[in-house]
Structure 1
């Protein structure tokens, strides 16, 4: 598949967050051209939503850099095991944990299991999210609003709070925001608002933790070909997905992985409270 001409064909899935195994074509996540150089040797990372899409690509890139990876996902067991297999074939170590990140008790259990398995924690990637398009504000129910923020925002507070006692000087926290936090989206009001909250959370947490030598940054993707897309939009909308970007196509998950590696390793030692925009050419002043 040539990235410069990629246009996903019409397709849908009937549940979120969606299954990568059911997508045609499958997203590019393996990063075959990406060569690790030991930038994360002997580090341990928790990556939420690491079973597929951006999280999968990041997990694989981290493993190539020598990192032990804990993938946290909801219930997409086929995708998670496929990602684990790729990492293990690379010679890496990958531990899978599934459950609802909107539950604070589960987030605490994720960190406890990570420490029990790998005995340390250096990197936290808060990446899991959900979205539910609605035509008007009136169409967004209280339960949808609560669920969106529970998954997209509260989970970051819960998991980061549980992880902080184990993060030391030199550790990194990376949050996945979105271009919608900066440009807005008329049909993704609650999702865009949650992503805006993540930007503010990133900046504020960076200021809070800078004295401890812990860096906090975010990556703001544009339209990326992940399972969330066919499980969110109609077939006709999927057919047009990402074509309105300056590059005229959606991005692939492996086009973001290097940004996460950069923010996780010492190459970004003088970077905190910032956002890297990977969006196909949109100029974002923020």
Structure 2
């Protein structure tokens, strides 16, 4: 029994002794070790080439970093309170004498189509009829005539009732028609400070304006918040969010001693600091 290794040439000579060694099997077994090393080296070279090519190509890409991003310092400005007044609307002509008190309502179609929302105006108070009241007819006398009413009747009977208070429209009123303007607790500067401090300013490269409108209700709450001019950048949604988040109530406007609904417009200017 031979102790030769199967990887040595002596083992091959022993196996192929007396056989045709020019046959392909002998040559393959003889060169198998060299072929295996060559294939292993070729595989390593291929893998290394793929990895090197990937690293080389990735070195040409410039990835943005936080230091490369432009820093925009934007400031929110709110224009003067005087600009919040809606356009002045002339009052309607007085109602005819002895007619029912006239009431006006806001034209919904006009508010929808016109970005400048104009509130309805209160109609003038209806003039009270100055004609003296007709005296009640006294009882008929024996000759068919009427007798004068007794002057010893119950005190207070037969007197004219007190006139009803002037009618106040339920729709929003213009500030020019009010007896007393709405007031924000702490002053209007407090209202501006709240809007400015809670407004999340986006990154923009130009000055833009947002025009808002809202109604101050009889109880001092803000309702019917709308966007009349939207420049984009999501500023319309942000302005609505800030105004709806306000929980402080206004002191309502007064007309004829009664609280009324008042329409306001609020321009908001967002600018980029150079």
TM tier relative to shorter chain: under 0.3
More helix by share: 1
* TM-score, normalised relative to structure 1: 0.20
* TM-score, normalised relative to structure 2: 0.21
